[in-house]
Structure 1
Amino acid sequence: MKFPSIFNKIKPQSIQQHPEKNQLNWMLELNKWKEERILTGEIHRPECRNEAAKRINCAFLSKQNDIDLSGLNLSTQPPGLQNFTSINLDNNQLTHFDATNYDRLVKLSLNSNTLESINIHQGRNVSITHISMNNNCLRNIDIDRLSSITYFSAAHNKLEFVQLESCEWLQYLNLSHNQLTDIVTGNKEELLLLDLSHNKLASLHNALFPNLNTLLINNNLLSEIKMFYSNFCKVQTLNAANNQLEKINLHFLTYLSSIKSLRLDNNKITRIDTENTSDIRSLFPIIKKSESLNFLNISGENNCPTIQLMLFNLFSPALKLNTGLAILSPGAFEDHSDGLDVDNELFHYTINKAYTPYNIHTYKTEEVVNQRNIKIKNMTLDEINNTYCNNDYYNEAIREEPIDFLDRSFSSSSWPFYH
C-alpha cells in the first residue's frame, strides 16, 4: 500500500502556512520516532517502527477509532495514539506508558509487555472503560479515580496493594497472580467477577457485592473468611481452595441460594461449626437451601477425611466426586425411609425432625464391597469432628486415592481405591 506523501515528507513551514493543519503536528513526532535508532539490548528492528508508523497514519487518515500495534517488538511508545479510542499494544517490549493526554481513550490493552509504570491522567480520562495489562512487571498502579472504568485486569504482575474505592462501575476485576497483601475495593454494586486468586492475602475487607457472580480467592493465606456472605448473595462460583481455613460454618450456604460450585479443597479444615454440633439434623435446612449446588470439592490431605465424606454425603447427586462415593439427594432418601440396611452402604444418618423422616445414605460400588469388608457406622457431628486422620477405613480410602482421579465424575463401574 502506498501511503500519502504528507506522512513521509512533512515540512514544518507547510504546517505554519496552513494553521488548520496544526492538529497534524504529531505527524512530525511520528516521523522522527520512526527514524530513531535506539538500541534496546536486542537486535533493533526498524521495520517494526516503520510498520507501526504506517498503521497509525493509515488509521488516522481513514478516520478509524481503533489502532492495533500488537506484536511489533516496540520498546518505546509511538506518537499519535491520542487520536484513537481503542489502543492495542499487546506483546511488545514497553516498560512505560503515558496516557495523560489521551482524552478520547476508551479501551487500552497492554498485555505481555515489560511495563514497570503507567500514567493515566485520572482527571481527564473520564471516558476510559476497559484496561487490560496482564503479564507485566507493575508493582503499583493508581486507577482509583477512574470512575468510568468497568473492566480492569492486571493479572500476573507484582502488585502489593490496590485501592479501587471510587471505581463504582466496575463489573470485572482480575488481580490474580500478584503479591497482594491488601486490597480496598469498597462497595461495588455492579461487580460480577472478582478474581483475587494466587496472592498473599491473609484477610479480606468486608464489602457489599450484591450482584457478584464469581468470587475467586483461592491460593492465598486466608485462615478464615470474615466477609458477610449476605453481602454477595448471588454468587454462583466460590473458590476458596488452597488457603489455611481451619473450620467452616455451613450456615453461610443459607445466604448463597444460587451457589453452584464450591471449592474448599487443600485447606486445613478439621471442624464443622453449626448451631448444634451434636446433631446432623441441624444441617438439613442447609441441604434444602443448597439445591443449586452441583460441584463440591473439599479434598486434600490436610482436610479431615471424615468431614470430606460427610459433606459429600450431604449434597446433591450432581456433585463431581473425587472419592468415588455415590450421593443420593434428599428427594431420593424416601426410598430408604424404612431404615433398611443396604449391603454396600458406607454410613448413613437418620433425619427424624424433618417434615418426613429421611435416611441419608452414602454408597461405595458393589465391586469394592465384594472385595473388602465394608463396615456400617452411624456418626454424629461430634464424632465426625473428633475423628481426624486416624487409620480407620474412611481415612485409608481417602489417602489411597491416586491424584489422577481427582475431580472425576462418579462411575458405578470404576473405583479408584485398590488394595
Structure 2
Amino acid sequence: MTQFQPIRGVVDQFPESNACWQHIISKLVENVDLMGYKEIKLPILEQTELFLRSVGTQSDIVQKEMYSFEDHGKEHLCLRPEGTAGCMRAYLNQCFREAPFQRFWYYGPMFRRERPQKGRLRQFHQFGLEIIGYDEIMPEIELLLLGHRLFDELIQNSKPVLEINYLGGKESRASYTNALKEYFSTYKNDFDEIHLYRYENNILRLLDTKDDAILKLVKNAPKLSDYITHDDATAFNTMKKIIDELGIPYVVNERLVRGLDYYSGLVFEWVSDQLGAQGTICAGGRYNGLSNQIGGPDVFATGLSIGIERLVSLVEYDTEQKKAIYLVPDTQEDLIAMPSLVSLLHEEQIPLFSHFCVSQRKKQIKRANKYGAKYIGFVTQEKVEIIDLVQDNESVSLKHNEVKAFYERRLRS
C-alpha cells in the first residue's frame, strides 16, 4: 500500500481490461486501413494558442478544462484536449503544398479537467479520423458509413443512434444567427458572463449549453431548417438520400451544433442510452474554417472522433482462453533449466508464461488457471510434465525438445 493515489479522473488500466481495448483498436485500425487511412502520430504537448484559436476562447474546454502552463522558457503550452486542431496544424506544416489530399487516423490520450463521472475522465482516449482536401458530401458519407459498420460490428446490444444536423454555409448561419439573437435578446440580461459572450460572439453555442435554465429557452428557439439557403438545403437532402440508400439509420436533431467553434456543414453524433448523461460515443462534422482560424489558408476538411472509454463500456467481449503453457520449476534445483526451455519455446513461437517460484502443485495449478493458461508445465532439468487444464487434466511427460510437437498436435485435435 502506498500513500500515493491516482490523480482524480485519471485511472490505472490493468491487463484484465486491456484485451477488450486491444480488440476494439485492432478492429478500428483494420477497418480504416481498408479505406486508405494512414496513421499520424501527434504530440501530446501543443502551444496553448492553437486551442485558443481553434476551439474558441469562451468554450468550456478553454475556460475551465485545459491543462495549460508556462514552461521555464516562458512558452505557453498545454496537454492536448482534442486531436483535430493538432492534426490540422501538422497538415499545414507538412502536407498542404506537396500532398493536399489526406486521410489520417490517430489514437491516444487527451486531457480535460472535467468533473469525473461515468464516461467522463480527465485523461481519456480518442480514436480520430480526418479527411482533408475534399469538399463536402462524399467524405461525410464515407465517415458515416465507416462509423455505422464499426458500431454495428462491435456493439451487439442497444445500438447507438446516429443524430445528424446541417449547420450550412455563411449565408445560412448569418440568417439563423440573426433569428436566434432576436429570440434570445429578451433573456440576455439574465445570462452569466460565458453565455452572454456566446450570445454576442457565436450564438449557436447557446444551443450546446449544459445550463438547465437556458436549455428551457432553447426548446422554443427558432429552428435552423427554417433559415437554411436553398443550396444548403439541397446539399443536406442529397446527403440524407445517400444515407437512406446505404441503409444507415439516423434521426435529424436540429439542436445538434457540436461544442467547438470550427464546425460548419454536416455535424453528427452517435449517442447511446446506456451511458447516462455522457451518451455520445462518437462525434464529428465538417470544419472548413479551422485552417483559417489557426492562421492557414482555407482548407476543406471533415472528421470524427470516438471516445474509447465509452465505447469499451458498450462492447461485450469474452477473453479467449489463452493457448499458453504456464511453466513452473518442479523444485528449486530445477529453476536452472527454465531459461533454456523458455528460449526454445519462444524461438518456436509457442505462447508461454514463466513463473519462477516453487510452491505446492495445487497452488501452481490455481495460479495457472487464474492466468487463463491452457496447460501447466512442471519443469525438471530433463523433462516437462504437462497437464491440460482445459480438457481432461491429462498429464504427459516430455523431453524439452518434444514440447513443440505435442503442442502442435494438440492444437490440431
TM range (shorter): under 0.3
Q: Larger strand proportion, structure 1 or 2?
A: 2
Q: Larger helix proportion, structure 1 or 2?
A: 2
Q: TM-score, normalised by structure 2?
A: 0.24
Q: TM-score, normalised by structure 1?
A: 0.24
Higher relative contact order (CA 8 A, sep 6+): 2
